[in-house]
Every structure is written in structure tokens, then in C-alpha cells.
Structure 1
Amino acid sequence: MLCSTCRIRPPVTAEGLCILCAGPAGASAPMPAAPPFASPQQQLRSPDGLAKAVVILLAVCAAADLLAVLAGLNIRSLLGDALGSGLATLDDAEANRADNLYVASGVLQLLVMLATGVVFILWFRRVRLNAEVFDASMQQMKPGWAVGAWFVPIANLVLPRRIAGGIWTASAQTHTDGSWRTVSVAPVNLWWWAWVCSGLFSRYASQQYMKAEGAQEVMDAAGRMLLSDAFGIVAAVFAILFVRKLTRMQGERAALGVYPLS
């Protein structure tokens, strides 16, 4: 049986209204709990553990990016001094060490990024399944897309943000009188655009660095890589803020004990 007004949520009043449609009058009504024998997609599971792992890995990503920045500065300093003297002072052994350090920092970035990506997607799937319990009507795509959307070329620049928007809206805690609380989507937008721009610029910078041949070209390409790595640090910070905020929102929403069912 559904609310006689919105036809979405279970009724909590004698008039057949849900807690949101009943307004203040429904705030004192018994709050329906999630079905005790619900299907897996209708059971809440805490995202806290995965969120902590994601935050730690994102911090490691930022540290790896910082190491890459330092390695890039070392290369630029070495080449800058050499170019000032017409390459006469360039020490091949020192140049090789600087290049090896830069390559090693790049490998570290890749490994950490892969590990972070796996755990982040697991967390993203968890909060998406919880959002299905909070309010399935807010979700425009099936829960499976919380994983699949990241692997669709081109579309992965749009679909995950669309899914995140539905999760964010459904996870917004309601006021004590049952009305919806408006929560700014700024953390979602900052995370998403920083991630997309960082990824696209990183690909461009990497291609330019691989094509560079002369000392001046290598120095210029290293400068672009420096900017890319710095952008990666910013993206990691925004991602941490997004993960922490959404995880906290879901904890507050779950504590409220109201789970609209479609």
C-alpha cells in the first residue's frame, strides 16, 4: 500500500499519507523500518569501512602525485641549468637518475590509482544500493550501472555523475518534521569536474612527454606533467571531501529510520 497523495512511499497516518506528505502531523507517526526480509538491494549496509579505505588511498594518491611533482621539478632544474650552458654541464649519469626517479614515481602513481579505483567503485556501489532503499524513485539508472558506467568509453565522462546525483539526493537527511532538506551539490560537482579535467589533462600531458625529444621539449613537457600532477592532488582532495560528506549523509539518513519504497 502506498501514500494516497504521492503514490511512492508507505502511509504512516490514518488518512493514508506518507510522512513527507503528512508534514508536521506525520512527524509523530511511527516511522516504517526497512523490510526485515528485503532483497539484497533493499538492505542497508554501512559504507563507513569502504569510505575510510577510499580516503586513505586517495591520500596516498595525493602523496604519490606530490612525489611526481618533486621528481618533475628535479628534471626541470637539471635541464634548465644544462640549457643555460649549452648542455655542456649536463651529466649523463645524473640525468639518468633523474629520469629513473620520474619513471618510478609514475609507476607508483599508476599502481596506487588502480587500487584506489577498485575500492572507490566498491564504495560507490555500496552507497548506490543504499540509495535504492532510501528512495528508489530518485535513481534514474539501475544499481548495476554504479559499476558499469565507469567502463563505458566517452559515456564514463557523464554517467557516473548522473548516478552520483541520484545517490546524493536520496541520501539527503529529512528534517524532523518530515520535509526534505536541501543539500548543496557543490561537493559532487567539484569532485566530478576535478576528476574529469585532471584525467583528460593528464592523458594529454603524458602523450606530450612521451613525444618530447630535445632537451627543451622535455623540459616543457615536464612542466605540463607538473601541472597535471598538481591538478591530481586537487582532484584527490575534492574526492575525499565528496566521499566523507556522502558517507556521513547516508549515516544520518539511516539513523532517521525512514525508507521510502517505490
Structure 2
Amino acid sequence: MLCTRCRIRTAVTDDGLCTFCSGTRPPLPDGVMAPAPGPGGWDVATWPRSPVGLARAVTALLGLVMAADLFAIGTGLHLRGLWQGLATDGALNIYTGDGRTAEALYGIAAVSQGVALLATGVVFIIWFHRTRRNAEVFDPSVQRMGPGWAVGGWFVPIANFWFPYRVASGVWEASAQTRPDGGRRTVPRTPLNLWWGAWVVSLLCTQVAERLWERAEEAEAIVRAGGLLAASNAVDIVAAVLAVLYVRAVTGMQVERALHGGAPDGPAPAPVPGAHR
């Protein structure tokens, strides 16, 4: 049975805690020092905290984001088709009950997108900060920015296109999976780079499409803006899929790294029997 607190190591106490969470962990071997604080001046916890539960929540919420985007694409294309009919054939369906229904459904889709994105963003940032604090335990020497930037970096105009990536890069490097002998092997950053690139493209496409939609007045302009909004929603789905892969990759690496010990330069302890149950 896994520890009820960290969900990483095997429980050894009657209340379901492992040796580390119960405070009965053995002292570090001779000559091994606890990792020193990295950038930002934060004290470093001796052992990492599991990101598994948060990762599952983020994955589920990203699924809701994808569902909301699909709903927006369907309702948006239907509304666009009504405007297309007005632009090409002079059909007035956009002004009838069908048009009002289509606009109402598209409004509901927009609200559902906003709610899903907000909830996902909050939980994702909490997970992101957890993994950054864990990275401080694994290897503070490769962290380029302090743990606070795992939260604040998303809210700095213009810099939010770069700061979170720098944080994520340090987390990825510190979380690299270990070999059985405790050494680290290089893990390609493809999931990180693809996710970040898709997220930036999605953000830019959404901003451009929404501005065109708000400014469109003629039927032809509305049709063009509606097509761009549908395309931006499709890009957002791709970014959400890549975000799931990125979250799973980092979480898996951190669990693997924790099983082999948190101190970056110390000998890795042997995995606890039954830890993968």
C-alpha cells in the first residue's frame, strides 16, 4: 500500500504513512548533504511532495477544456453558416428563431470555455508550483528562476511568453529520470517544447480571432472572423492535448526521481519493495 500522504513510497506505519512522511526516516548517509536553496531564497524541503493527485485533476480539467472547445467549434460553425447564407444568398435565417438559437448556443459555449479555462489554469498553476518546489529538492543548481515565478511568471505582461518556460525548463532538467545506479540520463524535451509552442500559438491566434470577431460588422467580415475563431479553438485543443502529455511526463519523472532519492549528488537508495503497487 502506498503512503496516504505522498502517494509515492510504501506505507510502514499503522496510520498509513511511509518512513519519510511519518518523520522516522533514517539520517542521510555520511558525506551527503541536504540540497542548498536555489534562486529565490526559499528554504528547501528535505523530501518532495507528490504531484500525482494534482496531475490527475489537471488532466481531467484539460479534458473539459477540450470538450468546451469542441462545443464552441460546432456552435460557431453553425452560426457562421447562417451568416454565410446572408452574405452569399441573402438568406435571413440569422434573423429568425434559428439565428437567435445559434447565437444563444454560441454564447453558452463561450461561457463554458471561460469557466473551464479558469478552473484549469488555477489547478495547473498549483501543480506547476508543486513541481517547481520538488525541483528545488531534486537539484536547485539548475533552477534559473525562483519558485515564486512558477505562479507570478504567468501574470507578467509580455514576459509571460518566456518566464514560465524558463521555470518549466529547470523543472524538467531537475526531474530527469535516474538510472538504477543513481545517475541521471538526458530526457528529450520534446513534450515541453511542443506544449509551450502550441500554447503560445493558441494564445496569439485566440487574441487575433477575438479582436476580429468584436470588430466585424458586415456579414462577410463576420464569416471570416468566425472561421478564424473555429481555427483558434482547434489549435487550443491541440495545445490541451500536448499539455496533458507534458503534465504526465513531468509527473512521471518526479515520481521516478523521488523513488531514487531526492539529493542530487548523494547515492540513490534502493527502491522500496512494493512501491509500484
**Normalising by structure 2, what TM-score?**
0.78
User: Which residue among 195, 199, 211 is the counterpart of 2:203?
Assistant: 199
Q: Which residue of 2 aligns with 1:85?
A: 89
Alignment of 1:251-262 (within 5 A): 251-260=255-264
Q: Is the 8 A contact 1:139 1:166 kept in 2?
A: yes
Q: Which residue of 2 aligns with 1:17?
A: none
% identical equivalent positions? 48
Q: Please state whether the residue corresponding to 1:199 is helix, strand or coil.
A: helix
User: Which residue among 166, 169, 173 is the counterpart of 1:169?
Assistant: 173
CA distance in 1, matches of 2:110, 2:231: 14
Q: Please state whether the residue corresponding to 1:115 is helix, strand or coil.
A: helix
| Structure 1 position 108 matched with structure 2 position 112 | yes
Alignment deviations for residues 68-125 of structure 1 (CA, whole Å, 9 cap, x no partner): 0001110122222333322355542211211111111011101110110000000000
Q: Is the 8 A contact 1:31 1:257 kept in 2?
A: no
Structure 2 letter corresponding to 1:113: L
CA distance in 2, matches of 1:249, 1:33: 23
Change (3 A) 1:31 1:222: farther
Structure 2 letter corresponding to 1:228: S
Alignment of 1:1-262 (within 5 A): 41-88=45-92, 90-260=94-264
Q: Which residue of 2 aligns with 1:12?
A: none
Q: Which residue of 2 aligns with 1:10?
A: none
Change (3 A) 1:211 1:179: same
| Number of positions where the alignment pairs a residue of Structure 1 with one of Structure 2 | 231
Task: Tell me by how many angstroms 1:41 deviates.
Answer: 3.7
Runs of 5+ in structure 2 lacking a partner? Answer: 1-28, 36-42, 267-277
Q: Is the 8 A contact 2:32 2:265 kept in 1?
A: no
Alignment deviations for residues 135-187 of structure 1 (CA, whole Å, 9 cap, x no partner): 00010111111111111111010010011010001001221233320100000
CA distance in 1, matches of 2:128, 2:191: 15
**Normalising by structure 1, what TM-score?**
0.82
Change (3 A) 1:61 1:197: same
